[in-house]
């Protein structure tokens, strides 16, 4: 199988074939998801609160993200790997965005980058795409702006649906190859999906988007506690891991592990 390219995603849209995207941050998950046929893997800045233990996505920086991007690109042969630009690594200027994106492409060996924001980021998207770097947009609820948006809230309701459509069209015009829509009403996401030639990728954006993305720890039930409404858990990885750890601990304490077959003689 050949590497997925951005034009393939456009072909899926034209054929009306919905496609899945997942986050990945390390070797084993990247390999498994690649083999499972997930065409796009996102090394999200959600690593902040799913890998590094921060409480929001804001603190994670480029030097923390780069090794994760490298691990994921090294471990896939098929998926298109998108590196998420962390907060503060592209907002300062077009030059800063270019510098950060180039690092993710050269050092991380990413195939594309993603950044949050609408019309205000048209110059950044134009500069990156002109430099040969495919850009994925991200609108609706954008976690890096949570303090400005008043927390995790549905965006694009009523009037602001028009603003969101204008943002999406501006990103497409600037050269973006796809756009993530997070936590927006299904009807608004449907409209944007219909108006755009490039694929839309929904997370909490209803069933009409061209693609769907979830954070893998949410999808596989590794993260515990109350999940957002848009999450569906397809497994109980937390349960599997905690019972494995408990069994191991128990066998060690009882002197049952290692048995002769795990020992050298």
Q: Binding site membership for Mg(2+): which residues?
A: 45, 84, 116
217: its two tokens: 């720890």
**What are the Cα distances from residue 25, in Å, to 1, 69, 221?**
22, 7, 16
**What are the Cα distances from residue 45, in Å, to 9, 130, 178, 204?**
22, 24, 18, 18
- For ligand KIV, the binding residue among 9, 19, 30, 46 (CB under 6 A) is 46
Q: Is 180 in the site for ligand KIV (CB under 6 A)?
A: yes
Q: Is 113 in the site for ligand KIV (CB under 6 A)?
A: no
- For ligand KIV, the binding residue among 9, 19, 22, 23 (CB under 6 A) is 23
Please, what is the minimum distance in Å from the beta carbon of residue 264 to Na ion? 47
> For residues 210 and 198, what is the distance between their CA atoms, to the nearest angstrom?
9
> For residues 219 and 46, what is the distance between their CA atoms, to the nearest angstrom?
14
Q: Is 203 in the site for ligand KIV (CB under 6 A)?
A: yes
Q: Is 213 in the site for ligand KIV (CB under 6 A)?
A: yes
> For residues 129 and 24, what is the distance between their CA atoms, to the nearest angstrom?
24
**Continuous segment of H or E residues that includes residue 206:** none
Q: Is 217 in the site for ligand KIV (CB under 6 A)?
A: no
- For ligand KIV, the binding residue among 84, 103, 204, 212 (CB under 6 A) is 84
Residues 29-68 touching Na ion, rule: CB under 5 A, are 44-45
Q: What phi and psi, each to the nearest 5 degrees, are found at residue 181?
A: -120, 120
Nearby residues of 220 by Cβ (< 8 Å), 6 or more positions away = 233, 234, 235, 237
Instruction: Say whether 182 sits in a helix, a strand or coil.
Output: strand
Q: Which residues are catalytic?
A: 182
Size of interface with ligand KIV, in residues (CB under 6 A): 11
Q: Is 218 in the site for Na ion (CB under 5 A)?
A: no
Closest residue to ligand KIV in the complex (CB): 44
Query: Residues within the annotated binding site for 3-methyl-2-oxobutanoate?
Result: 45-46, 84, 114
| Binding-site ranges for Na ion (CB under 5 A) | 44-45, 84
């Amino acid at each position: 199988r050949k590497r997925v390219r951005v034009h393939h995603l456009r072909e899926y849209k034209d054929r009306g074939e919905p496609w899945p995207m997942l986050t990945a941050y390390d070797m084993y998950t990247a390999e498994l998801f690649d083999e499972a046929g997930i065409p796009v893997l996102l090394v999200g800045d959600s690593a902040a609160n799913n890998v590094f233990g921060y409480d929001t996505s804001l603190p994670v920086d480029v030097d923390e993200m780069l090794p994760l991007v490298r691990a994921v690109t090294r471990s896939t042969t098929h998926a298109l790997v998108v590196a998420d630009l962390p907060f503060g690594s592209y907002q300062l200027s077009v030059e800063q965005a270019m510098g950060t994106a180039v690092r993710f492409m050269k050092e991380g060996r990413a195939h594309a980058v993603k950044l949050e924001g609408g019309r205000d980021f048209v110059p950044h998207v134009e500069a990156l795409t002109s430099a040969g770097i495919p850009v994925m947009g991200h609108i609706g609820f954008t976690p890096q702006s949570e303090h400005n948006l008043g927390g995790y809230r549905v965006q694009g309701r009523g009037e602001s649906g028009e603003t969101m459509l204008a943002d999406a069209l501006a990103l497409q015009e600037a050269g973006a190859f796809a756009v993530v829509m997070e936590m927006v009403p299904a009807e608004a996401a449907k409209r944007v999906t219909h108006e755009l030639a490039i694929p839309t990728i929904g997370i909490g954006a209803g069933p009409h988007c061209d693609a769907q993305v979830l954070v893998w720890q949410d999808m596989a039930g590794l993260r515990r506690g109350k999940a957002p409404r848009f999450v569906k858990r397809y497994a109980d990885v937390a349960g599997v891991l905690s019972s494995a750890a408990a069994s191991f601990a128990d066998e060690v304490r009882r002197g049952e592990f290692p048995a002769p077959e795990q020992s050298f003689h």
